[in-house]
Structures are given as structure tokens and as C-alpha cells.
Amino acid sequence: MSTLVADAMAKVRRGLLETEGMLAGRRAVALGDHRYLLLLRFAVINATGFALLGAVWAQGWIGRILAADDTHICKLIFGLFLVGLFWTGQKVLMLSRELNALDRWPLGARTRSTAFLDSIQGRDGPTRAALAGALRLKLAHRIGAVRHMASTLVLLGLIGTIVGFIIALSGVNQEAVTDSAEIGPMVAVLLHGMAMALFKTLVGSVLNVWLMVNYRLLESGATHLLTRLVEIGERDAAP
């Protein structure tokens, strides 16, 4: 008798889940088949950033930075920034797809998130908690590369600052400071080295802030995904 009751309860629960999935699917269709909201925020943030970069270019600041970048460290910093931005875009697209799949659960395409929900079906509470913890670590590992890249930009800026100061001070000849003919070239080298140092610090710091804004967006998306997975998993596991 208890087995029949349990089977009947299981059928009712599956029916409710299917009904909820159909309603979620209809809501998604009503709002559009692809709700890449996280990707949209990513596009807006970086479109604004590149617009500001274009304004700085128009003011001539980029030309000054490139003219003072004899060691090409600023170019290296910007190249690494573009790599980090590309990685962020890939991760944001992945998270957007996973979040869209959860909006249609239990219908829709099969993704890693839906596979996780399938894997915790019928598991006890401690097992579900352990699997959720493992998933949190995996998500943190996958998006952690962007944060490390942002930190690298600052370190490269500091290295460029040290190089600039070395160039500035290496052009000073203590024995020739009394020679008026030598003062002009020494001052020119000193100012050039100082400009290199300050520009590299500026470039590394600004691009670090830009990439960290993208990382925070990525982190919030991963947190939202994990929260949704836990909510759905616990809801489906409830008696």
C-alpha cells in the first residue's frame, strides 16, 4: 500500500514539474527565445568602455602613450587585456546559455546545468550539498583566470614604472651636471623616462579596473547560476 502511495506521489510530482516547465517555456517564448541578459550587460559595459577609449584617442592621449612606449610594455598590457576580455565574453556566453536552460527546466535543451539537476535527483541532503560545493569550486576555477589576468595588468604596469624610472635615472650623468650643454639632453631623457613610468602605471591601472568590472559581472552571473541550481534542486527534492 505504501509503495502505491509513493508511486502516486512521484507521478503527481513529475506532472507538476512538467506543467511548471511548460509554463516557464511559454514565458520564455513570450519574452523571446534567447534571453541573454548577462551577455547584454557585458555588451553594454564594454561598449561604454570602448566609447570612452575612443574619446581618449580623439583627445590625443593614446598617441602620447604610444610615443612614450619605447619598451612596448603598454602594448603588451593592452594585448593581455584583450585576451582577458575575450575569455570573459566566452564565459558570459556560457553562463547565459546555462541560465536560459534553467528558465526552461525541465524542458528545453540539455546543458551542464540540467545534467547537474539530473545527477542530484534522488540523492540525500548531504550528497546534494557536497555536489553543490563541488560545482561552486568548478565555477570559481573557470572564472578565476579573468581575475588573475586583471592582476597581471597591474603588475606589468608596475614593472613598466620601474623600467621608466631606470631609463630616466640612467640618463643623468653626475659629472656633467655643471655643463650647460649636457643639461638639456639629460632633462629630455629624464622627462621621457618619467613619462614612460607614469603612462605604464596609468594604462595598467585603468585596464585592470575595466577588466575587474567584467569579472564582477561574470562572478555575479556564476553566483546566480549556482543559486538557481540549488533552489531548483532542493525544490524538486522536497517531499
Please state the domain count of the chain: 2
Q: Is pLDDT above 60 for 214? A: yes
Same domain, 5 and 121: no
Same domain, 19 and 43: no
Query: What value does the mean pLDDT take over residues 110-129?
Result: 81
Same domain, 157 and 229: yes
Using CB atoms within 10 A of its CB, is residue 113 exposed (0-12), middle (13-18) or buried (19+)?
Answer: buried
Same domain, 155 and 201: yes
Residues with Cβ < 8 Å from 109, sequence gap 6 or more? Answer: 101
Highest mean pLDDT among 34-38, 51-55, 100-104 belongs to: 51-55
Same domain, 70 and 7: no
Same domain, 221 and 156: yes
Same domain, 107 and 170: yes
Q: Is pLDDT above 90 for 169? A: no
pLDDT greater at residue 58 or residue 106: 58
For residue range 20-29, list pLDDT tens digits in order: 444 444 444 4
Q: Is pLDDT above 60 for 19? A: no
What pLDDT does 173 receive? 64
pLDDT greater at residue 104 or residue 142: 142
pLDDT greater at residue 157 or residue 2: 157
Same domain, 70 and 97: yes
Same domain, 84 and 128: yes
pTM assigned to the model? 0.77
Q: Is pLDDT above 80 for 187? A: no
Same domain, 18 and 128: no
What pLDDT does 124 receive? 81
% pLDDT > 90, the chain: 31
Query: What value does the mean pLDDT take over residues 30-44?
Result: 71
Query: What value does the mean pLDDT take over residues 94-102?
Result: 87
pLDDT greater at residue 107 or residue 94: 94
What pLDDT does 76 receive? 93
Task: Give the domain extent around 16.
Answer: 1-32
pLDDT greater at residue 152 or residue 30: 152
The least confident of 61-65, 78-82, 85-89 is 61-65
Same domain, 134 and 20: no
Q: Is pLDDT above 50 for 199? A: yes
Same domain, 27 and 140: no
